Amino acid sequence: MSPDVPLLNDYKQDFLLKRFPQTVLGGPRLKLGYCAPPYVYVSQIVLFLMPWALGGTGTLLYQLDILRDYTAAALSGGLMVFTAAVIQLISVYAKSKSVVVKRMITRNILAEEDQHEFTSCAGAETVKFLIPGKKYVANTVFHSVLAGLVCGLGTWYLLPNRVTLLYGSPGATAVLFVFGWITLCIGEYSLIVNTAAETATFQTQDTYEITPLMRPLYIFFFVSVDLAYR
């Protein structure tokens, strides 16, 4: 390759900067190729951190000796199932309120993102952008239940008192707690909100919606084995 030819041209750099954070974070589109209102980004951040807030409820009640560890996990998991179901119902409602428009043909075959017109924070177009929804009702139910199961087990696994007893270090507990919940948020977001697109893939063909299951299942198996070993 000639030294004058860059490895990534301007377009590829822009594409990578948009796609790579989305892949790493499990789906949030924090960099778009067009101007979007601030509430689009704020909404994605809120949805991303939502499992942490729900799990934090059970964690706080456990730390205050109000609930036992397994009841705190069950509470967090139940809240996650309910929240996931509400999110999917909102997506279905937004689809029913939106009109079908004909897609314009683009000359750029690498431009996978369509530009959206956001009219309001709770508008149908905004909701469809944030929460594309599932193709099948069975997946809606299964993904919601799996989200609750992963959140419940993750809450149980990351309870600070239990982690401190395991590692004997407050510093290690804090690091594991923070990065553990970030990992759970990544898995939950791709499962119930919007699936991450892989960096090297331009147009994914996932008829049965298997891709959203990958990250949560990795977390589920890891946490299950660790809890069983304890």
One-letter amino acid for residue 35 of the chain:
C
CB 216 within 8 Å of CB 145: no
One-letter amino acid for residue 161 of the chain:
N
Q: How far apart are CA 188 and CA 74, in angstroms?
A: 16
Q: Where are the alpha helices (DSSP H) in the chain?
A: 10-25, 38-63, 69-97, 124-130, 137-157, 160-167, 170-192, 211-229
Select from 165, 196, 160 the least CA-distant residue to 24: 196
21: which residues sit within 8 A by CB, 6+ positions away?
Answer: 28, 30, 31
Sign, Cα dihedral of 113, 116, 120, 124: negative
Q: How far apart are CA 221 and CA 226, in angstroms?
A: 9
Q: How far apart are CA 76 and CA 88, in angstroms?
A: 18
Tokens representing 228?
């069983």
pLDDT values of the chain reduced to their tens digit, one per residue, 230 residues: 556 666 677 777 787 888 888 888 988 988 876 778 899 999 999 999 999 999 999 999 999 999 999 999 999 999 999 999 999 999 998 888 765 544 444 444 444 455 677 888 888 889 989 999 888 999 999 999 999 999 999 999 999 998 998 888 889 999 999 999 999 999 999 999 998 776 554 445 677 888 889 999 999 999 988 888 76
Q: How far apart are CA 34 and CA 83, in angstroms?
A: 30
Q: How far apart are CA 186 and CA 178, in angstroms?
A: 13
Q: What is the pLDDT of residue 165?
A: 86
Calculate the alpha carbon distances from 199 to 64, 132, 206 in Å: 43, 19, 15
pTM of the predicted structure, to 2 decimals: 0.86
| Chain position carrying tokens 């456990």 | 62
Tokens representing 82?
């309910």
